[in-house]
């Protein structure tokens, strides 16, 4: 998953600097998958936070939930900047 994310960021950066505007259908599906996966991870983190019974784990659960949310928001923002259509997610 980290390799996919790294490849996406690298690809987005190269497209930004090359001036490429139209995403390929395959690339759009790859980005959709990453955004959808990030959304699911965020939802899972929220669920884990809501089920925490051990007070010692609250800080970790908050950190995990916020990190997942920020990754999801970042990927959504990048996808929109690239002109991808992600209506299926909203």
In this prediction, residue 70 carries a pLDDT of 97
In this prediction, residue 6 carries a pLDDT of 62
**Nearest 5 degrees, angle CA 90-CA 79-CA 22?**
120
Distance of CA 64 to the CA centre of its chain: 14
In this prediction, residue 13 carries a pLDDT of 58
In this prediction, residue 67 carries a pLDDT of 96
> Computed from CA positions of residues 13, 19, 20, 21, in that sequence, does the dihedral angle turn out positive or negative?
positive
- Domain residues of the chain, as ranges? 25-89
pLDDT tens sequence across 20-79:
454 455 676 788 889 999 999 999 999 999 999 998 999 999 999 999 999 999 999 988
């Amino acid at each position: 998953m980290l390799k996919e994310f790294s490849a996406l960021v690298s690809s987005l950066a190269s497209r930004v600097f090359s001036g490429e505007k139209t995403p390929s259908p395959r690339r759009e599906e790859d980005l959709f998958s990453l955004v959808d996966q990030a959304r699911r991870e965020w939802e899972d983190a929220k669920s884990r936070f809501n089920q925490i019974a051990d007070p010692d784990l609250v800080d970790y659960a908050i950190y995990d939930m916020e990190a997942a949310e920020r990754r999801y928001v970042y990927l959504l923002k990048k996808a929109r900047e690239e002109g991808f259509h992600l209506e299926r997610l909203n």
